[in-house]
Amino acid sequence: MTALEDPSGINRANPAAEIAARAEAYRNWGRWGEDDVLGTLNFIDGAKRIEAAALVREGTVVSLSQSFDTDGPQKGWRRRTNPVHTMTDTGVDAERGNQGFPHGIGGADDVIAMPLQCSTQWDGLGHIFDHGFAWNGRAAGDVVTSEGDLVTGIEHAASVVVSRGVLLDLGRHLESETGELPDGYAISADELDSCATAQDVMIGRGDIVLVRTGRLARARREGWGDYAGGPSAGLSLSTAGWLHRTEIAAVATDTWGFEVRPNEFDVPSFQPLHQVAIPNIGLTIGEMWDLDELARSCAERARWDFLLSAPPLAITGAVGSPINPVAIF
């Protein structure tokens, strides 16, 4: 373990220095060429997908998506609201014959309005910047404008995010009785490794790693509360080195913010691991995934890897996307 991977060594009074040290140490700018738009998703190749497809033995599918409806966790922070679903044509209209269609045919149509990151989603590479720089060292203002992400829009990943998925159930590994980590618990790189060892699963290049903390399970039991933006277990800033050296393609959690909250500083800070991981490592991050049924399915099979299909919607210029990821056994 390097000094940067030791959570006890974080200087809690100097987030700027701690972020900068990891950004410099783990920066992947130029690794896949100056025109790259995928970052660590480049680790997924045809051979990796063939490996992942070989994990399908039963045809059992588990959805890893939360619902998209008004009964969601969002509370309006930075205009993030829950989805609003509206019917524009209904069965009532069809019964009354007022839709204007011939020979008795009728139909229903609907529309949804929502932020792209209101429920289960990917953070795209244009979502976070570091000192005005986006992924691969580009000026943030040259990448994302009022017209959207003109360079690394989420649409570039639409045919990419199918790979071997690996669940690390840290909730069950560290809290065997409850399966839920307490708020503010910072998961270390050593704990990620010890969980993988306990589950007898290897993490390899191109894998998509899913980290279950148990936070969503508690929200379902107790109510949403501060699930969106409040305290939560999550990855420590010190895991940046693990995320880099394992060469995983992407990572996702069952929490709103992926990393531990409150963040690991005694002075103002905001999502320091995002600041290292997205614009510097080039890592795609998933949040608010439902990993509870997946954890049960994996435990029943004593098997923690599977084919994972989690493509974003091809929304041109978007910096994130809602998804319905599925694990296939």
CB half-sphere exposure, 11, CA atoms < 13 A: 10
Q: Phi then psi for 302, rounded to 5 degrees? A: 50, 45
- Return the pLDDT at 200: 98
Non-local CB neighbours of 283 within 8 Å, separated by 6+ positions: 39, 40, 243, 248, 250, 251, 277
Q: Are residues 238 and 11 in contact, defined by beta-carbon separation less than 8 angstroms? A: no
- Please give the structure tokens belonging to residue 183: 């708020």
- The per-residue b/e assignment along 81-94, b for 16 or more CB within 10 angstroms, e otherwise, is ebbeeeeeeeeebb
The predicted pLDDT at position 276 comes to: 98
pLDDT at 101: 93
Which one, of 21, 23, 268, lies nearest residue 128 by Cα? 23
Q: Name which of 241, 165, 258, 162 is nearest 203 in CA terms.
A: 165
- We find that the CATH architecture of domain 3-76+116-328 is 3-Layer(bba) Sandwich (3.50)
Listed as own residue / partner, the contacts of 50-56 with beta carbons closer than 8 Å and 24 or more positions apart are 51/164, 52/162, 52/163, 52/164, 52/165, 52/306, 52/307, 52/308, 53/307, 55/164, 55/305, 55/306, 55/307, 55/328, 55/329, 56/306, 56/307, 56/328, 56/329
Partners of 307 in beta bridges = 164, 328
pTM, 2 dp: 0.96
Tokens of 152: 């690394």
Cα 272 to Cα 19: distance, rounded to the nearest angstrom: 6
What is the number of residues in the chain? 329
* Rg of the chain on CA atoms, in Å: 21
User: Are 181 and 216 spatial neighbours (Cβ–Cβ below 8 Å)?
Assistant: no
Q: Which residue, among 67, 73, 80, has the nearest Cα to 115 in the 3D structure?
A: 80
Give me the residues paired with residue 234 across strands: 186
pLDDT at 2: 87
pLDDT in tens, the chain (329 residues): 789 999 999 999 999 999 999 999 999 999 999 999 999 999 999 999 999 999 999 999 999 999 999 999 999 999 999 999 999 999 999 999 999 999 999 999 999 999 999 999 999 999 999 999 999 999 999 999 999 999 999 999 999 999 999 999 999 999 999 999 999 999 999 999 999 999 999 999 999 999 999 999 999 999 999 999 999 999 999 999 999 999 999 999 999 999 999 999 999 999 999 999 999 999 999 999 999 999 999 999 999 999 999 999 999 999 999 999 999 99
* 326 burial level (CB within 10 Å; 0-12, 13-18, 19+): middle
Nearest to 253 by CA among 194, 201, 186, 301: 186
**CA separation for the pair 218, 196 (Å, rounded):** 23
Helix (H) or strand (E) holding 84: strand 84-89
Measured between alpha carbons, how far is 150 from 138 in angstroms, rounded to an integer? 12
Residue 1 pLDDT: 77
Residue boundaries of the structural domains of the chain: 3-76+116-328, 83-113
Q: Which two tokens stand for residue 227?
A: 């699930």
Give the pLDDT of residue 16. Answer: 98
Q: Which tokens is 30 given?
A: 């130029």
Cα atoms found within 13 Å of the Cα of residue 126, Cβ hemisphere only: 27
